């Protein structure tokens, strides 16, 4: 594997599936791996809020025998108190890995270039690789052949959509993305990923995207950092709400998926997110197992 995990694009198909195998083992036998990363330290930089990412990385490194150091937005003030490069150089002298959640993807790239230790992208405006690896692992561990699986993503062409696109390139997942006009995923990313095997179709009609799908996935309409656009977006995205009417257009056994946090009553209704076929908590749990697999691979 490369030194860093900045995007699913950084991984080969073989590396993705080998992380899935490792995550399955770590999930089945956590006690057997208590000393896989003894005494290793992970610096965890957050420039945005988090529940799942913080708790799963911090719990994960602890369960492997190491420790995480949480750095809140006001602590290091990336790029204001000190440059990204200077933070990377300093951290590299003390810790064994850096996890970072920030705004621009260029910040994680700068950090990775300058740090001598591995850097893990824990969400940027562009990508959320750890989330999508957990999501695809969730389908894979249930025995699904991703090449025969159709996932309909309904909503904003955001970091989740972009990482799903690279997930499709690496696993063969058949991906349909439905967004309002003007909110599509980036064209250059769609084209580059298609050239590397991604099977992705873009729609503006949510029903067309969802019809006959094996899973329906949605995410918030206004991501972290877009709070000022929230009211405007709620109006534009309303027809893209995943409610029972839309969910029922998918296969009768279709799953509902969401990276969380969810804005109940906006992108998803209570009856869908609380439905017996909603697997959102399995996705959240699997963040822990897949990230342990990632840290073990990069920090050992
Ligand atoms: N899905 C996810 O990354 O959740 P948090 O923002 O709570 O970390
Ligand atoms: N698109 C969302 C994902 C949160 C996990 C955001 O960036 O806020």
Cα–Cα distances in Å, from 272 out to 100, 213, 231, 280?
A: 32, 15, 23, 11
> What tokens appear for 257 in the block?
């998926």
- For residues 220 and 265, the answer to whether their CB atoms sit within 8 Å is no
Residue nearest to atom 2 of ligand 2 (CA): 223
The CATH number of the domain covering residues in 8-128+286-299: 3.40.50.1370
- For residues 87 and 285, the answer to whether their CB atoms sit within 8 Å is no
SS3 at position 18: helix
The predicted structure's pLDDT at residue 155:
98
For 131-283, CATH number out of 1.10.1040.10, 1.10.3720.10, 3.40.50.1370, 3.30.70.20 equals 3.40.50.1370
Query: Would you please indicate which residues are annotated as catalytic (active-site) residues?
Result: 101, 128, 131, 219, 259, 287
Sketch the domain layout of the chain as residue ranges.
Answer: 8-128+286-299, 131-283
The predicted structure's pLDDT at residue 97:
98
CB-ligand 1 contact for 131 (6 Å cutoff): yes
Locate tokens 């076929």: which residue? 277
| Span 218-251, pLDDT tens digits | 999 999 999 999 999 999 999 999 999 999 999 9
The distance in angstroms from the start CA to the end CA of the chain is 12
pTM of the model: 0.98
| Span 134-185, pLDDT tens digits | 999 999 999 999 999 999 999 999 999 999 999 999 999 999 999 999 999 9
CB-ligand 2 contact for 202 (6 Å cutoff): no
Residue nearest to atom 4 of ligand 1 (CA): 52
| Span 193-213, pLDDT tens digits | 999 999 999 999 999 999 999
The predicted structure's pLDDT at residue 106:
98
Q: From CA 117, how far away is CA 74, in angstroms rounded? A: 23
């Amino acid at each position: 594997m490369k030194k860093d995990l900045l995007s699913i694009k950084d991984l080969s198909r073989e590396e993705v599936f080998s992380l899935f195998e490792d995550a399955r083992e770590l999930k089945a036998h956590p006690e057997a791996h208590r000393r896989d990363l003894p005494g290793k330290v992970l610096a965890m930089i957050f420039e945005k809020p988090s529940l799942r990412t913080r708790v799963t990385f911090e719990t994960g490194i602890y369960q492997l025998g190491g420790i995480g150091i949480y750095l809140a937005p006001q602590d290091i003030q990336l790029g204001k108190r000190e440059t990204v490069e200077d933070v990377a150089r300093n951290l590299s002298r003390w810790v064994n890995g850096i996890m970072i959640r920030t705004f621009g993807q260029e910040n994680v790239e700068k950090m990775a270039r300058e740090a001598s230790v591995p850097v893990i992208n824990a969400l940027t405006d562009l990508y959320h690789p750890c989330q999508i690896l957990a999501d695809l692992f969730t389908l894979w561990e249930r025995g699904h052949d991703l090449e025969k699986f159709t996932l309909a993503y309904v909503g904003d062409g955001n970091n989740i959509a972009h990482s799903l696109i690279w997930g499709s390139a690496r696993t063969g997942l058949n991906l349909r993305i439905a967004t309002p006009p003007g909110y599509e995923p980036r064209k250059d990313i769609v084209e580059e990923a298609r050239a590397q095997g991604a099977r992705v179709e873009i729609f503006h009609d949510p029903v067309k995207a969802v019809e006959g799908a094996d899973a329906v996935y949605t995410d918030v309409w206004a991501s972290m950092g877009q709070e000022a656009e929230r009211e405007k977006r709620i109006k534009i995205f309303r027809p893209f709400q995943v409610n029972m009417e839309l969910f029922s257009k998918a296969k009768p056994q279709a799953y509902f998926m969401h990276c969380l946090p969810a804005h109940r009553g906006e992108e998803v209704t209570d009856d869908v997110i609380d439905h017996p076929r909603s697997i959102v908590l399995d996705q959240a749990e699997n963040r822990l197992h897949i990230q342990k697999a990632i840290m073990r691979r990069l920090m050992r």
